[in-house]
Structure 1
């Protein structure tokens, strides 16, 4: 169902997207920016930019179209396949691609691309994420393992639960470290003040991240993270919690950061046991060009 809102500005003086977010709590900042871009937001019956400063007397009309139902249709989207056999696929997911259909992202996902590539994907209980056994965020790049049948799904999920697989991430983060490595053991749950975010909370689920400092620059560091658990936004939340948010992170990081297409976080190494042969498989993939470019610039100013 389409929803319509009419907002009156009294004495506020803030950005358009921030004003709407404060008045309509059910909308995320990302969704609001999409609505503004798609001309579903009018200020005094005119289209304005996200950065428009609202003023007293402004009348803002917000139209929220009904979301399309989740799609699991095959789509001819290029896939970077690193490895494939009868049981598993390993893909290098690009930054900007959502893993499976969800509210706000009904299509153009990795699952849609996988369905075009093969009919052999393990069924999922929900129906809209066949083959998916773990995820990385939309703006995180890197390696994912995909199950092609029920036996493979069971095996890969069990390896995740037993922590017997290997997942290493590269991250460019804010600030410098006095230590060479560390362990973050802090429970993660839904943020009490912002339901769109996760946070370190007393009653959260156990979450453990290991990190190693690889290089340090002027105000930034390159680190490697190893996941022991796999909570939503775990690395991003944990690094922000210790005062080193991931550069470019729009949700947990500062506004003044490295320019890019979201957080500078890359799933670099993935290792697991092949479900049938029981052979150990391990893969490594370089970060995307924007990640390498920013690293080179940081090294030049070191």
Structure 2
């Protein structure tokens, strides 16, 4: 599909790479840079480089190649199954596992494992890339995640997520000592204005987000907390805790790059998930024990106190 843009007066004299990033918000900067480097961007029919400065009235055009959906294969892998029936399956996800395939991660994801374990019994509402997936947790976050085996279950769990009736409790270690034993962070979350890979607490174009936290244990320079999600925005706990000056220990995206412990990613564990079963109407709640690295970290922190 060919996309064309007429350069308005206010962009006259601007580099074409900047003009494209401003004019094509749905395309990533890296994608646009690749087009320029591959000499696939034309101005009035002539190929230009990224340093080219556009003039008012010029026609900038490029072709967006049709997306080719990768073939996702079933893979046999060990799954820590907490519960399973004909409608749902709950997994205790390990650290480092990506939930569903995406660019750069087409194998070794939870979806690959579910496809092997459940065969063709996964809901198809979210498409071939995310069969059964109704919510997700970050790659380096551990703990409970639910997948749906049919569309009835998927619609039910999705609706419960939408109305915030699902119980979701996470456990985290944050930098510093929180002034209060309990609190609530209520701040909208949206895409970071300058770093597209990050989320941030913003008011413009942000979506409502609410996190309730409770102090479980205090250490010298750190606090062990329980966070209960009322909403489920991308990176919500990580962004909210960082916004109040207490980023998660090990989180190099929203927190300090350096910390005295050998951690691989944020210290965050999805410990409890509760929901109304889509078929029986019964409330069910499941928990996943803290992973070994988390328990070992708590032991070290207690020795330092």
Q: How far does the alpha carbon of each residue in 1:85-113 deviate from its partner, in whole angstroms, 9 at most, with x for none?
A: 11000100001000000112122100000
Task: Measure, in 1, the Cα distance between the counterparts of 2:107 and 2:184.
Answer: 37
Task: Measure, in 2, the Cα distance between the counterparts of 1:109 and 1:283.
Answer: 22
Task: Measure, in 2, the Cα distance between the counterparts of 1:214 and 1:161.
Answer: 28
Contact 1:168 1:270 survives alignment (8 Å): yes
Matched, 1:293 2:296: yes
Alignment partner, residue 49 of structure 1: none
Secondary structure of the residue that 1:163 maps to in structure 2? Answer: coil
Alignment partner, residue 80 of structure 1: 80
Secondary structure of the residue that 1:218 maps to in structure 2? Answer: coil
Q: How many residues align?
A: 240
Matched, 1:196 2:194: no
Matched, 1:275 2:287: no
Contact 1:71 1:107 survives alignment (8 Å): no
1:26 Cα deviation after fit: 3.0
1:70 Cα deviation after fit: 3.2
Q: How far does the alpha carbon of each residue in 1:204-245 deviate from its partner, in whole angstroms, 9 at most, with x for none?
A: 000000000111101110000000000000000001100000
Matched, 1:226 2:225: no
Instruction: Give 5+ residue unaligned stretches, structure 2.
Output: 1-27, 32-67
Instruction: Give 5+ residue unaligned stretches, structure 1.
Output: 1-23, 28-67
Alignment partner, residue 14 of structure 2: none
Task: Measure, in 2, the Cα distance between the counterparts of 1:237 and 1:253.
Answer: 9
Correspondences of 1:1-302 after superposition (within 5 Å): 26=30, 70-119=70-119, 120-203=121-204, 204-257=206-259, 258-302=261-305
Secondary structure of the residue that 2:238 maps to in structure 1? Answer: helix
1:202 Cα deviation after fit: 1.2
Task: Measure, in 2, the Cα distance between the counterparts of 1:187 and 1:164.
Answer: 19
1:156 Cα deviation after fit: 0.4
Task: Measure, in 2, the Cα distance between the counterparts of 1:226 and 1:279.
Answer: 21
Task: Measure, in 1, the Cα distance between the counterparts of 2:126 and 2:136.
Answer: 16
**Against the structure 1 CA distance between its residues 177 and 125, is the aligned structure 2 distance closer, same or farther, given a 3 Å change threshold?**
closer
Q: TM-score, normalised by structure 1?
A: 0.77
Contact 2:126 2:132 survives alignment (8 Å): no
CA RMSD of aligned residues (A): 1.7
Secondary structure of the residue that 2:271 maps to in structure 1? Answer: strand
Q: TM-score, normalised by structure 2?
A: 0.76
